[in-house]
Chains A and B, each alone.
Chain A
């Protein structure tokens, strides 16, 4: 295996990447959809937005593999960032640089790789958008230009700020290490610690703007039987897919956190009771209509808190919890909004 050298402007490159404040952040739908489009457009099982950090490549989004990072030494993308041009490996087994690479000889058995560098500023390439297959294949000029087009979309997403200022504030205030500790490693959405911080910040903003804040506790129905019948690995897969599905049904400014086990907290800023109904219907509809390994439904208990409410934020969580219990006892696959 031949490791990629480091680019001449490595220091500048890494500091640019770090300034983007994107490493170790939770999944975002706007990037998920681009990697989905790559899989569909090029007919590949794996696609990723890989950001090449000092010693690792970290995936902002990846389809087809459950990994969030690999070491830089084995990364194909570490080669891609060395040049402006697309980096294509039609058959990794026939290429001295990769034939004994652990990602080639072992999981995920990469044979074909096509990556477009993400050049965010002249000469500064922070990572790549790539398409990967388990079998050797060639790539047409047209497919390369599709991948290039999509990499332009990644860049314009990177340049534009889509998360709410509250999310961004939280991401900025957390040091890299803390940030990783606030993201759930299985589902890659905020974990409970991250969720609590987000919630407190959203509540401060709601009070300042005198705007309603809606909260929802969401719990996957009969999840224990899933684990019992199919095992925990299968259960983990369901949790991962489930979170990605819910992500497609919420706004970028909404908060989505794994609260524990199969329970999730949703935070809807500037959302009153009427808006809340629409949001919850959309979420339950998405869960119901997405074909997964097995049919999955969920129950939701929700509550809208207004800044003047004397009961305060944590009482609202309790109210949502009680409403969730009602949704469960009422037959599941439904939401209950409690006032």
Chain B
């Protein structure tokens, strides 16, 4: 599934020059904070490239990237909202994903898009659990707040040269 503005979305993502870069502390601290506050084993800053989902930062799993077809987040970037999947094993869209079927055997997913500019969702901030989980309104608010702060971080740190491009 592709976003309507897929072409522009990818142009934005690539202009950040962030894909395949080393881990960086500002993103590490974001994923650490997510794990700690939301009490989940896995949290990630995920970026959706043309054919893959690449993790700028991930806690709790040794994955660098996965196939875009195999990802929850490729759905999340199509909406402006937080997507919550309480139990992926019970959801036809997700039960056959490799990360559900195999290690890390994800069951619960919550993700919020990282919106770099109006409706340009380059990726998500997301958390996973290996057990089904309840996610409160306060949890949603927290995930949303952090994802907006992450977007702001990306803009201010990496976006300087293209910030003036008219969306």
Contacts from A to B (Cβ < 8 Å)? 29-30, 33-34, 36-37, 40-41, 142, 145-146, 149, 152-153, 156-157, 159-160, 162, 251, 282, 289, 291
B155 interface residue (CB < 8 Å to A): yes
State which of A29, A36, A40, A156 has its C-beta within 8 Å of the C-beta of B156: A156
Closest to A156 in B: B156
**C-alpha spacing A40/B155, complex, angstroms:** 24
CB pair B145–A37 under 8 Å, yes or no, is yes
Residues of B within 8 A of A142 (CB): 36
Closest to B160 in A: A160
Count, chain B residues at interface, CB 8 A: 20
Smallest CB–CB gap between B66 and chain A, Å?
Answer: 27
Give 15 pairs: A residue, B residue, CB < 8 Å, sorted on A: A29-B148, A30-B148, A33-B145, A33-B149, A36-B141, A37-B146, A40-B138, A40-B142, A145-B29, A146-B29, A152-B26, A153-B152, A156-B153, A156-B156, A160-B152
State which of B26, B33, B152 has its C-beta within 8 Å of the C-beta of A30: B152
CB pair A156–B29 under 8 Å, yes or no, is no
Smallest CB–CB gap between A249 and chain B, Å?
Answer: 11
CB pair B138–A156 under 8 Å, yes or no, is no
Q: Taking chain B's interface residues, is the majority helix, strand, or loop, or is none over half, making it mixed?
A: helix
**C-alpha spacing A289/B26, complex, angstroms:** 31
Contacts from B to A (Cβ < 8 Å)? 26, 29, 33, 36-37, 80, 118, 137-138, 141-142, 145-146, 148-149, 152-153, 155-157
Smallest CB–CB gap between B11 and chain A, Å?
Answer: 21
Residues of B within 8 A of A41 (CB): 33, 36-37
State which of A34, A159, A282, A291 has its C-beta within 8 Å of the C-beta of B149: A34
Residues of A within 8 A of B141 (CB): 36
CB pair B145–A153 under 8 Å, yes or no, is no
**C-alpha spacing A212/B150, complex, angstroms:** 31
CB pair A149–B33 under 8 Å, yes or no, is yes
CB pair B137–A291 under 8 Å, yes or no, is yes
- Residue with the highest number of chain B CB atoms closer than 10 Å, among A36, A145, A162, A251: A36
Smallest CB–CB gap between B56 and chain A, Å?
Answer: 16
State which of B36, B142, B149 has its C-beta within 8 Å of the C-beta of A153: B149
Residues of A within 8 A of B156 (CB): 156-157, 159-160
